[in-house]
């Protein structure tokens, strides 16, 4: 058992006064608390902490409820077996999780955890009151922490919870740690067990992988062990048709991660970053979904939507996935032989896709860059970067102000001025007026009504 200085660890604890209060509360009740898992790993790596995990031999639910009542903080019961509860500190959103031992003794409990680097514990009392504290480390996780390698404590932990096969890649992505051959062999051996895990749990780990800047490398490693196919089985079907199809998709994703925003759009960087960081759900933002869309970019739209639904991404994310996959070739499809894009084409595009025009442009840019010289106009003027700026300039300088201003006239204005007519006809007229408004041909309500008059003279009042 290794002894380490407790002073720097203690100083790194969040809300130390609250943790001291917890320690006193536990001692008065005769409860021995152990700081365990990711919290110990983070302390040893000198990383910031937003949650703390405690293990105890006593009734974790009763203990957590009593401490929550004493402090007036929120109590959440998480599981019955093993007994697990959470206290949420309202002011700081710090979470304290309490779990009962899953084995008779602490060391046996630690051997049941996902990775050796997460199978360490510190006695809270020693950590807070003594100059040194013993690191309880039955799986030699401290050595793996120093060598930055990821090992399972045993084969059994993978069989007990196959999600750990995916968690290895998540921790590798987040920490930059290596996955040794022994771990890879277990992943290959047990990869078929992953579908036993709920879609929600798989989704959460995949999102965390997509969050890192170089997710491409870890998705490629997952494909090498065929674990990625357990999450997205359609990959194997694609591979049978086109051997290098996934490699092309990963290459495009890498282009996006290396340079998501073209140089010509740097003046709009604040708006683009705000778009990319926009939350679709609590844990999923548009940047992550764009990465997933690039991975699925050559799939049929309905296939991509089915994958998004299977992963339980949520309604907004599924809608965005559909939009991105349907339109990811927009730039290639909308330009003429000289690489030009017409104003009317931009208007139709922006009206059709709404706020997600930015996402479509960014994945189109990644597509074009990954295709390189295969693009028929990539080296001809104007460059793709210039086209992107042309569309962005048009949106921010002309299209967006019109959208903010709203319609020049309403259906009621038409009825009051020109009398009753079929609702379908009113819809056609309003659409025509919007066309003229976006084309810049009309700017005032009076000009809009005059345009309605001309429309009725040409088309009448019947459908």
293-311 tens-digit pLDDT: 999 887 789 999 999 999 9
Asked if 393 and 350 count as a contact pair (C-beta separation under 8 A), the reply is no
Looking at the predicted structure, is the pLDDT value of residue 442 above 80? yes
Angle at 292 between CA 221 and CA 299, to 5 degrees: 100
Please give the full DSSP string across 269-329, using - where no structure is assigned: HHHHHHHHT-BSSSS-BHHHHHHHHHHTTTS-HHHHHHHHHHTT--HHHHHHHHHHHHHTT
Domains of the chain (ranges, CATH numbers): 2-147 (3.30.460.10), 149-231 (1.10.110.30), 264-404 (no CATH), 411-459 (no CATH)
Q: How far is CA 173 from the centre of its chain?
A: 14
pLDDT tens digits, 22-79 = 999 999 999 999 999 999 999 999 999 989 999 999 899 999 999 999 999 999 999 8
136: which 2 tokens? 């309880």
Q: How far apart are CA 294 and CA 289, in angstroms?
A: 9
Residue 412 has which token pair? Answer: 């009621």
Q: How far apart are CA 12 and CA 46, in angstroms?
A: 7
Task: State the CB neighbour count (10 A cutoff) for residue 160.
Answer: 11
DSSP H helix total and E strand total for the chain? 27, 8
Instruction: Write down the mean pLDDT value for the chain.
Output: 91
Tell me: pLDDT of 375 over 50.
Answer: no
188-234: per-residue pLDDT in tens? 999 999 999 999 999 999 999 999 999 999 999 999 999 999 999 99
Supply angle C-alpha 359, 360, 364, rounded to 5.
120
- Please give the residue that has the higher pLDDT: either 402 or 331: 402
Quote the pLDDT of residue 383: 78
pTM of the model: 0.87
**Residue range 268-286: mean pLDDT, rounded:** 94
pLDDT tens figures, 69-106: 999 999 999 988 889 999 999 888 899 999 999 998 99
Q: Which of 216, 223, 164 is nearest to 190 (CA)?
A: 164
């Amino acid at each position: 058992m290794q002894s380490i200085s407790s002073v720097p660890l203690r100083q790194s604890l969040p809300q130390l006064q609250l943790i001291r209060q917890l320690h006193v509360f536990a001692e008065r009740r005769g409860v021995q608390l152990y700081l365990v898992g990711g919290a110990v790993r983070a302390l040893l790596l000198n990383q910031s902490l937003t949650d703390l995990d405690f293990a105890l031999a006593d009734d974790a639910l009763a203990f957590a409820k009593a401490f929550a009542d004493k402090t007036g903080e929120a109590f959440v019961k998480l599981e019955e077996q093993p007994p697990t509860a959470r206290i949420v500190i309202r002011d700081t959103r710090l979470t304290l999780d309490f779990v009962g031992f899953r084995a008779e003794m602490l060391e046996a409990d630690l051997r049941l955890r996902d990775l050796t680097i997460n199978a360490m514990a510190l006695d809270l009392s020693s950590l807070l009151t003594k100059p040194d504290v013993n690191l309880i480390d039955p799986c030699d996780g401290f050595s793996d922490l120093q060598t930055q390698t990821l090992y399972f404590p045993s084969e059994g932990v993978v069989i007990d919870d196959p999600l750990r096969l995916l968690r290895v890649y998540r921790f590798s992505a987040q920490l930059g740690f290596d996955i040794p051959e022994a771990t890879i062999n277990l992943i290959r051996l047990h990869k078929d067990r992953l579908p036993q895990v709920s879609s929600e749990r798989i989704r959460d780990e995949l999102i965390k992988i997509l969050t890192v800047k170089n997710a491409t490398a870890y998705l490629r490693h997952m494909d090498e062990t065929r674990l990625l196919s357990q999450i997205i089985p359609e990959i194997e079907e694609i591979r049978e048709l086109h051997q290098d199809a996934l490699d092309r998709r990963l290459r495009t994703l890498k282009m996006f991660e290396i340079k998501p925003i073209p140089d010509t759009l740097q003046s709009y960087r604040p708006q683009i970053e705000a778009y990319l960081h926009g939350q679709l759900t609590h844990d999923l933002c548009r940047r992550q979904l764009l990465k997933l869309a690039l991975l699925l970019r050559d799939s049929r739209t309905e296939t991509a939507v089915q994958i998004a639904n299977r992963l339980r991404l949520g309604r907004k994310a599924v809608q965005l996935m559909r939009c991105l996959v349907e339109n990811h070739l927009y730039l290639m499809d909308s330009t003429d032989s000289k690489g030009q894009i017409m104003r009317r084409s931009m208007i139709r595009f922006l009206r059709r896709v709404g706020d997600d025009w930015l996402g479509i442009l960014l994945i189109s840019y990644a597509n074009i860059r990954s295709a390189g010289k295969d693009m028929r106009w990539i080296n001809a003027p104007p460059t793709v970067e210039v086209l992107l700026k042309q569309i962005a300039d048009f949106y921010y300088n002309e299209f967006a102000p019109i959208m903010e201003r709203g319609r020049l006239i309403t259906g009621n204005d038409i009825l009051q001025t020109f009398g009753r007519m079929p609702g379908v006809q009113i819809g056609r007229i309003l659409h025509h007026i919007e066309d003229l408004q976006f084309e810049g041909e009309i700017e005032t309500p009076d000009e809009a009504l005059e345009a309605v008059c001309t429309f009725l003279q040409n088309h009448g009042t019947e459908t």
